[in-house]
Amino acid sequence: MKFDIPRTECPYCHETLSWAMRDAKGDPIPPRPGDFAICTYCEGLSVHKRDLALRKPTKNERFEAFGMPEVIDLQIEVANERGLLQSN
């Protein structure tokens, strides 16, 4: 699968992002409007708009996202990679 990964700005830390989730084979999965995104710089939760730019989620979207184990797991993974979490 080939597609152009949109470049967009994190609405929290304003870093430029140009990545996509990957499937089990490592192929990129194109984002769709309404999909959640996690910033790899600040772990900020965002939502893709129609043009695939990112925006901050609404209160209801935050509740929805934090009820999804895969969102929590991804935020933990990003924080671990950045060395922000300590293991006991």
Taking only the tens place, the pLDDT of each residue in 38-87 is 888 888 999 999 998 999 999 999 999 888 888 888 778 888 887 766 65
Q: Locate the domains of the chain by residue range.
A: 8-20+31-81
pLDDT at 46: 93
The model carries a pTM of 0.75
Task: Give backbone dihedrals phi and psi of 11, rounded to 5 degrees, phi first.
Answer: -75, -5
pLDDT at 41: 87
pLDDT at 54: 94
SS3 annotation, 24-87? CCCCEECCCCCCEEECCCCCCEEEECCCCCEECCCHHHHHHHCCCHHHHHHHHHHHHHCCCCCC
pLDDT at 59: 95
pLDDT at 9: 93
Burial zone of 75 (CB within 10 Å; 0-12 exposed, 13-18 middle, 19+ buried): middle
